[in-house]
Amino acid sequence: MEIEELKAIWQQYDSRLDHLEKLNKKLILETLTKKPQKKLNWMKYRSLYTLIILPTVPIIALHDYWKIENIDLKFVIGCFFTLSVCIYLCYVEFKSYMALKGVDLSNDSIIESARKVSVFKSIVINRQKSILMTSPILLAGILLICWKGFHFDSYTIMFMLCLCLFSLTKSIILFKRYKEKIDKLHKEILDLNESIE
């Protein structure tokens, strides 16, 4: 009888120990995922913010040119270029947001989360490659919309060239920083796997 009682007590403590071990792993995982989760939330916010700002800024910035007397073939072509680029960029940002929304550090496996972050990274890299094409199209669209408001002299042309070069340079620098943040997030997620095991 004593051996049976000892076995029962031993099994009870063994099940409690297993439960505590699972609880401990869960708490460690929750603690370790806080930092990557904050970065994910920031990137989601950034994608949503960009998705809202992209169509809003051209409308507000160019509101002085939305007049009936400005409508001609150049204006229509400019609107087409600007609208096309805005729709494309909104589509890419929406795709980025959905890729980030799919990352669930608490429920997905770490490898699955890392894979989803890699998909997001590839979307961002493809967007950056397309900037070399979309930026000149957007600039041409804005130029055509504002055609009647520009006085083309050497100062205006130099200013526009400098503005274009500045915006391209800035977007390349910002892309490199953003890519580094994504790489760091990806590494932190993979490091979670090592920490848990």
What's the whole-model pTM score?
0.72
Distance set, CA 48 to CA 5, 52, 122, 161 (Å): 61, 6, 18, 30
Write down the pLDDT at residue 80. Answer: 92
Residues 57, 60: Cα–Cα separation, whole Å: 5
Longest dimension (CA), the chain: 104
Banded model confidence at residue 9, pLDDT cuts 50, 70, 90: confident
List all residues 6 or more positions away from 128 whose beta carbon is below 8 Å from its beta carbon. Answer: 171, 172, 175, 179
Sign of CA dihedral 17, 21, 23, 28: positive
Beta strands in 122-174, from DSSP E residues, in sequence order:
none
Counting residues of the chain whose pLDDT is more than 70, the rounded percentage is: 91
pLDDT at 52 exceeding the cut of 70: yes
Banded model confidence at residue 43, pLDDT cuts 50, 70, 90: confident
Q: pLDDT tens across 119-134, in order?
A: 888 888 888 888 878 8
Write down the pLDDT at residue 196. Answer: 56
